[in-house]
Homo-oligomer: A and B are copies of this chain.
């Protein structure tokens, strides 16, 4: 009988990771950097970047959201969203409205122009994703997204 492989000397659960390529985290980082570079390039003609796009999409998906809520959803610091909102506001892509019952809070609403821009930005990024994922079947793409979400999303019913 052909001996293609010797038996693992231990419980497979204890299989030693000994190369960089064995680490899922290494592939995560490489793939994420690859994606980010492509997304930045794809958004260049629209004169925006991935984080501002994510912020605008948050406003569109949840009209009336506050900046603090966006930061919690996207996992970013409140301090860092300030210049991003300032630029999106200057471009007329959303409006701020004081909350009636809590004067600390600004509720953010997309403008018509904001919705149009966001749709255009999404189209650019979608085309980049199609290229990035071209070696994956539709099923593999869905599975990849599902597995990635299981890594970073909370256990509970929460989502962000």
Interface positions of A (Cβ within 8 A of B): 12, 16-21, 23-36, 39, 50, 54, 57-58, 61, 75, 119, 122, 125-126, 128-129, 132-133, 135-136, 138, 140-141, 143-145, 147-153, 155, 159
User: Which residues of the partner chain B approach A17 to less than 8 Å between Cβ atoms?
Assistant: 122, 125-126, 129
* CB-based nearest B residue for A12: B138
Min CB distance A17 to B, Å, is 5
Known: A122-B17, A145-B24. A30 touches B152 (CB 8 A): yes
* CB-based nearest B residue for A56: B20
Copies per complex of this chain: 2
**What are 11 A-B contacts defined by CB distance under 8 Å?**
A17-B122, A17-B125, A28-B32, A29-B32, A30-B75, A31-B32, A136-B150, A136-B151, A143-B143, A143-B147, A144-B147
User: Which residues of the partner chain B approach A132 to less than 8 Å between Cβ atoms?
Assistant: 24-25, 151
C-alpha gap A50/B148 in the complex (Å): 20
C-alpha gap A57/B22 in the complex (Å): 12
Min CB distance A120 to B, Å, is 12
